[in-house]
Amino acid sequence: MVAGMSDVSALFEPYTFRSGVQVRNRLALAPMTTTSADPDDNVSAAELDYIARRSAGVGLVITAVAYVTPGGKGFPGQFGAEHDGRLDSLRALAGRIKAAGARAVLQIFHAGHNAPPELVGGDVTSASDVPSTQAHRAHVPVRALSSDEVAAIVRDFGHATRRAIDAGFDGVEIHGANGYLIQQFVSAHSNRREDQWGGTPEKRLAFPLAIIDEVQRARAQAPQPFLIGYRFSPEEPQDQGLTMHDTFALLDALRERHLDYVHVSLHEYDATPRRGGDPDRTRLQQIAEHLGDTPLIGVGNIWTPADAQRALDLGATFVALGRALLLDPEWVQKVQAGRANDLRTTFTPADRDALTLPEPMWGVLTGFMLKDRLVTPAEAHA
């Protein structure tokens, strides 16, 4: 028996979501920015090859995030889901994932005040006119969305969900994490509104809950079981930013929506809270307890089978693998075969083709190396 492999069978147990979607194991490909779309913002052939290879072992694949409206594009090389002309692109993506045996989930978002102005016609918008907390965007003017515009964006999430259904995806994940528009509405730091979309903690939840309701309405037209997930970040460093107490209120509201799963965005899966909650217990444990019977995907610096198993032990229902699958696309197959000692732990500049990584993504990844570990752009800027 390989060291550290004595009790990881739980990682390979199948699961059926409340919507009826079935998966073969408890491992997911985490959503990771590839910056590799075609110039017209369709999914590129290189991106299809990248994701197809990493779909062969996991039960669930969550795609890189797609924007739902032109004003919500978040970075160069991002593919879109904002109009019906994207259906062929989305069908190709869903088809490659499902052909490898995994369930395909399209992650959808609006970047809000983190949108590069050159990608959104100079009109950077958010809940309020509060600039981005990203240092290189702090000087960019931000316009507060009108109430009508907010309602239109809610509908855009529903339209994107309908496209995901038409394209053959098995579900969508609403991206309410990592400081993008949905989180900007939830946070008192970025939401200074005094209308139905802000002003009290309850009203700051109105936007994500309206999106969930709209997505669920679109899901009602799906001919097959179709799952809905929601991703969130539990804390923010700003004085008025999110605390664990804010997150507990969000989780209570999400639990009432009977989602298929909730996906917590963490840098370290076993980290403890900074503000609010029990400082002596991990965020993952406390989040799982608040969610009750709503499944939880845990992520954050999971490299080894022991890391993945511990995430389950702390309360996660599923474990999302990010950098581990970038570094070793066959991570799941090796672990399941008892070959954890064969997992790739380093790479060289000559390994791009061997790892089936699109050239733009490779360029970004090789620019962010910390302590001999692969670090994603989001982590390097955190």
Residues labelled catalytic:
180
CA 129 from chain center: how many Å? 25
Look at residue 173 and give its three-state secondary structure. Answer: strand
Do 142 and 130 contact (CB within 8 A), yes or no? yes
- Sign for the pseudo-dihedral over CA of 355, 356, 361, 363: positive
Q: Which two tokens stand for residue 65?
A: 């995030």
Q: How far is CA 45 from the centre of its chain?
A: 22
Distance of CA 220 to the CA centre of its chain: 23
Pair of tokens at residue 231: 């991703």
- Which of 321, 350, 269, 378 is closest to 26 using CA atoms? 321
∠ at Cα 196 (153, 264), nearest 5°? 60
Sign, CA torsion 49/54/60/61: negative
Distance CA 106, CA 184 (A): 21
Residue type, 40: D
For residue 332, the tally of other CB atoms under 10 A from its CB is 27
Residue with token string 């907390």 = 133
Give DSSP secondary structure letters for 63-127: PPPEESSGGG--STT--B-SSGGGHHHHHHHHHHHHHTT-EEEEEEE--GGGS-GGGTTT--EES
Tell me the C-alpha distance between 273 and 233, whole Å: 12
| Closest among 73, 76, 93, 80 to 167, alpha carbons compared | 93
